[in-house]
Every structure is written in structure tokens, then in C-alpha cells.
Structure 1
Amino acid sequence: MFQKTPKTWCLRLLPVLLFFIALVIYHCPYVILRRYIDTSKFLNSSKSLCGGRLIQWESLNFNINRTKQLFLKLEDFFWREHVSKLALPYGIKGSEPLLLKVLAVTANYQVPADIDNLECRTCVVIGNGFSIKNSSLGRMINTYDVVIRLNDAPVRGYENDVGSKTTMRFFYPESASSDPRLHNEPDTLMVLVPFKQQDLQWLKEILYNEKRGRKGFWKPPPQIWVADVNKIRVLDPHFLWQTANRLLQIPLRHRSKQSVHPTTGILAVFVALNYCDVVHIAGFGYPNSRTIGQPIHYYGNDTMKSMKNSYHDLKHEAETLKRLKDSGAVMYLNSDS
């Protein structure tokens, strides 16, 4: 009987081996390419939407004004009248002397030219919500032209989920990190959202190295705040007023004893809509109020219990974000938001 030699077996297995090698060579680049496509599909689609994005503005009952400058500038107070009928947080009435001193030091009032001159600005607003945890959105977030972050939300140690790029960070004194260099980039714009005169007073004392005041804050702000003065901006209160009056449609004078104001997050979304051609969001939303022990941030241990006495209408803001999503004005990056 004829017995097959090892050489014969090897020759018969050779086509199978070559097929397997060819399959690996073909499939690996596909997998790598597929991962790249999955990572950048939102950005690529957003770029293609720049010229033909269909947003049902009529369903939102407000219009976007792309000509309004985001930040207050010193020239407003000298070269043309800057009359405001409202006080903070919705206007500057009564705060002009403080603003003059603050803006005289900061001296920069623009968005960097490399962003401002883009024909299409893709922007993402990163909320601090628990929903972004374990999302692995970090690499995608870093591909946007503008990344807006809120308050003192950390970046280091969370890059895989929230990315590392920060174009602007919206904050107020109580939410400021004592060392803004820790979780921001050298070029990050630190955007103060002034809710009250004490907020401007705090910044003035920091800039002029004056004795720090402690009264008027619900939480002690940093007494030392190391930031590049060239990167400090003051958001025009016009945008908070528009967010409250037009977007959320909440009365400026609330009937209840406690006033209701927009959160920094919904404000940042509205600012993005006024500046960006494409707006995506991630990390928004709070857990059901009945789940008191559920963490509300992707960091730290705060729960819904800490929001018990909040002067924000979280349910109404969630409904507003849904309207923005349904109209096509914004898109969620993570479906759990």
C-alpha cells in the first residue's frame, strides 16, 4: 500500500496555509480601517453637513445669530454705547466699573484665528454626566475643531472617555479649579460665566493680586488661581439671557422664592449653536431623581442628593435638549445621554 510521506502532506497543506495567510493580510488592514472609520464617522458626516444641514428652527421658536461676538471686549465701553437694561446674570448693568478693570488686563477678546477662520466649525460640548463613563469616545472627541468643557471636570486619567483636547472651558468662581493648568491645554480659553458681581470681583482680585473677598459665594472659590491672562475671556451675558429667555423660556423673575437659571451645560450648548456649524454633545443628562444614590458625574462621588437644592430645572433642560436633538440642531455622541 502506498504510504504518504510527510513531504506529501506538507504539499497538500500548502494551499490551505497560503489561503490563511492571504486572509490575514486582507482582513487586518480592513479591521484597522474599520476602526478608523468608526472613530471618525461622526466627524466626517458632520463636515459633509456643513453646507446642507437641515435644522427645523421653526420648531424651536428661536433663531441663531452668528454675528454676535462671544466675549466682552474693552472697546464696547469706549467706542460705542454698550447699554444694558439688565443686571447679572443676564446683563452688565451696574457691573461696568468691574468689567473695565478686568478687560483692561485680559486685553484679548477673540477666538483664535485658526478656529475663527474655518469655513466649517465642528464643535462638541462635553458634559460632566455619568453617561460618558466607559464610552471610549476620547479619540473621537479630540478630532473636533472646538471642544468645550464645563466647570472643573477633570481630563487627566479620563482621556479614553472624554478626550484630552480642550478649546474652551466655561466656569464660574465656585466651579474653578485652583490650578487650571492641570486639566487644560496651554491654549485653552478660560471663559468666565459671571452670574453675579462677586464673580467679576473675584476675577479682578486675582488679576490685580488684591485681598480676596469671601462673601457672596455659595462655595469658597480658589484664593489662588494660576491662569494665563491672555487666555481669559468673559462671556457676554447676552448668551445666558438668550438661553433662559429664548431657548428654555423661563421667566427672568420667577414666582417662587428661588430663582431658576440655566446650567453651564445648556448655556455652552446654546453658545455652540451660535458659533459652530455642527454641534455634537456627550455626557449630558442626569439619572432619575428617584435614584438618589446614583452618581451624577463621570468622576467623583456626587449623587442626585447634591442637586436637591439646585436652582436649575433639570427636567426642563432635558426636554429642551431632546427638542434640539429632534430638530437636528444637535446630535448625541453617546446614546445613553
Structure 2
Amino acid sequence: MIANNEICQKSSSFPTTKMNSKNGWKAGAVFLTVAFCFGMLWYLHVEPYIPRPYIHVHEICTPGDVAAKAAALISNYSRNHPVFLQLSDYFWVKNESKYSLPYGTKGSEDLLMKFLALTNQYHMQPEIERLLCRRCVVVGNGHRLKNSTLGETINKYDVVIRLNNAPVHNYEKDVGNKTTLRFFYPESADFDPQQDNNPDTLLVLVPFKPLDIQWMKIILNNEKRVRKGFWKMPPLIWEVEPQNTRILNPYYMEVTATKILDSVSDLSSKKLKAKPTTGMLAITFALHFCDVVDIAGFGYPALSNKKEPIHYYEKVTLKSMAVSGHNITLEAIAIRNLLQNRLIHNLTYF
């Protein structure tokens, strides 16, 4: 495949000439070479890299477009689930979850009641909720966003979803400065809630364990801090308003693990669920909430590349992912599957 890509690159450097008897064979050779390259790319189901000036940005939004495509690809796909957890799920009506965190709420009901009583807010921003058609972009933290100049493009979307501690301040030219939702967990909350978000940004907790919910409750209620049980110490002081916090419905984690990642896995035994990254989870959420889903900044360096940073804002390399518990190879296959089926589109390259 590398050889084919080299042929494509060389063919683009041929001079453009008029068709005549002297150089007609050259033009014909160029045409056949280009046709061969794109034919090979189609055959191997690999999307060709499109230079940034020619990237298609969705200006037209068709209600229900993504939902129809997702229903054909994801088994038991449904949008009849609350986006965020709410108090009524545990107070008025007993929520019977089959799984414990991060795939369900079984065993964490009492803790959730205490946390949700503090926030008293369980819905999306009204201006987003009432949109007839939602154009969303999930902004990954990948190094390929560096020098991308995609900031203005990203800011044009109705919903901009950011991940974990990815900074906005000082990176606006490449990543924009609009943030509708930020998905995070305690260990990834080492960002400035004011500097790297907007006043109306919703900080969406992705709970992987009961202690994550307890940490959030402690922060909001200014209780005695817990210092044990985290793989990395989360902030002890975190200036955030309760009305700006939400807890993502673990339903989306379950769908990501069992419907999207399992569907592309060739493992003979699936006794253990996959542990999705926050980015993969955000894409799944967008497929259930949005009518256009674009992504930017997704993808890791090749496994053999030990030096290229994996993030646009720091020099951490792929080595840091070795103990994460995430299957990034499986996620790459899943994202390619979504791209090939046109459920999502890419503003960068993958």
C-alpha cells in the first residue's frame, strides 16, 4: 500500500499539458495512474487523505440523517434514553440497571441521588435542545490538530464536544474557543473550568467508578476530600458551578462497548467488555443526539512511532497508552467503519 501511495504522490507532480500527439501518452499515463490509485483506495476501503483546503464541511443539516444510518448499523439503536442522569430516575421511579459502572448504575443509586440533588439540573442547554437539526463536532486531542487552523471551522458548529483536559486557551487558531460540552472524569479534570470553557459550557462527568461520583459531590458540597482510590490525584479545589455539571447516562458507555466496539472485534471470546476512551464514547453520544456528526483530531501515531506526540498540547507519546486499558487498535477499526458508512465525517485525516 505504501508503494501505491508513492505512485499517487508522484503522479500529482506531473506537469499539466495540452493533449497532442507528442505528449498525449503522458496525459494518458497520468489519468491511468490516478484512476488506479483511487481504485486501490476504494478496494481496500481506505479513505484517501484530502488536503485541508478541500475538506468538506457540512453546511446543510438534514433532520434524522444520522439516526437513520445509525439504526442500520447499530443493533437495537434507540434515541429514547435520557442524555444525562436525573434525580427522578432514582427517587420517583426505581431505575433497574443491569450493570454497574461504567456501563450502568447498579449499586450506585444512593450516591447518585445525593449528587443529583445538589445540581438540580439534568438537561441540555435550551438553545441546543430546541434546535430542529443539530450539527456537532467531536474535537479529539490528537497531535494532527496542531497547525491545522481549524479553529474558525470548529466554532461554526451548533455543538462542540471537547474531551478531558484538552486546553483551548492559546490554541484557539487550531481548535477554536467554543465548547458546548466537555466530557471528563476526575483524573482528567486538571484543566481550568473558566479559562478553557465558556460560561454556559456543560461539564459532563463520565463515571468509571462510584468514587468518581463521590469526588464530584465532595467538590460541589465542599466536603472533606478523598485522596485514595484514583490512579492519578484529581483536583482538590475546582471552581465550578453545580448548574454547569451533569452526569452522562452510562447507557452510552454500554452501547460503545457492546454494540460499536464488539461489532468490529474478531475476538472469539467477548466475556470482558471493552473499556472505551472518552473520545470513542463522545462519538457514540453524538450519534444518538446529533443530525450531523463530524470529528477532528482523532487517531494515534503508528505503533512503531515512539517519538511523535499523541496530543496537540503536550509531548506525551504512545508509550503512555500502554497501561491505559484501552484498545486503540480496535477503536481505530470502529472509527474507520463509521467513516466508511458515512455516519461520521472527518475534518482532519485518519
Normalising to structure 2: TM-score of the pair?
0.79
Paired AA for residue 42 in structure 1: V
Matched, 1:167 2:175: no
Aligned residue among 328, 333, 336 for 2:347: 333
Measured in 1, the distance between the counterparts of 2:71 and 2:334 equals: 14
Paired AA for residue 216 in structure 2: L
Aligned residue among 193, 201, 208 for 1:195: 208
Query: Which blocks of at least 5 consecutive residues in structure 2 are unaligned?
Result: 1-52
Encode CA deviations 1:146-179: one digit per residue, 9 max, x unaligned.
0000000000111111110000000000000253
Which consecutive segments of 4 or more residues in structure 1 shift more than 6 A? none
- Deviation for aligned residue 1:39: 9.7
Structure 1 or 2, whichever has the larger Rg, is 1
Map of 2:57 onto structure 1: 42
Contact 1:125 1:282 in 2 (8 A): yes
- Deviation for aligned residue 1:53: 6.1
Counterpart of 1:89 in 2: which secondary structure? Answer: coil
User: What are the residue-to-residue correspondences of 1:105-254 with 2, within 5 Å?
Assistant: 105-249=118-262, 253-254=271-272
Normalising to structure 1: TM-score of the pair?
0.82
Measured in 1, the distance between the counterparts of 2:344 and 2:140 equals: 14
Matched, 1:321 2:327: no
Map of 1:294 onto structure 2: 308
Contact 1:126 1:150 in 2 (8 A): yes
Measured in 1, the distance between the counterparts of 2:98 and 2:144 equals: 39
Contact 2:103 2:253 in 1 (8 A): yes
Map of 1:24 onto structure 2: none
Measured in 2, the distance between the counterparts of 1:221 and 1:54 equals: 36
Encode CA deviations 1:60-87: one digit per residue, 9 max, x unaligned.
3435322211100001112222111211
Measured in 2, the distance between the counterparts of 1:299 and 1:136 equals: 14
Counterpart of 2:162 in 1: which secondary structure? Answer: strand
Matched, 1:72 2:70: no
Measured in 1, the distance between the counterparts of 2:240 and 2:219 equals: 10
Paired AA for residue 92 in structure 2: W
> Aligned Cα RMSD in Å?
2.0
Paired AA for residue 44 in structure 1: E
| Distance change >3 Å, CA 95–CA 275, structure 1 → 2 | same
Aligned residue among 272, 276, 300 for 2:290: 276
Query: Which blocks of at least 5 consecutive residues in structure 1 are unaligned?
Result: 1-37
- Deviation for aligned residue 1:40: 10
Counterpart of 1:43 in 2: which secondary structure? Answer: coil
Contact 1:155 1:163 in 2 (8 A): yes
Measured in 1, the distance between the counterparts of 2:171 and 2:215 equals: 30
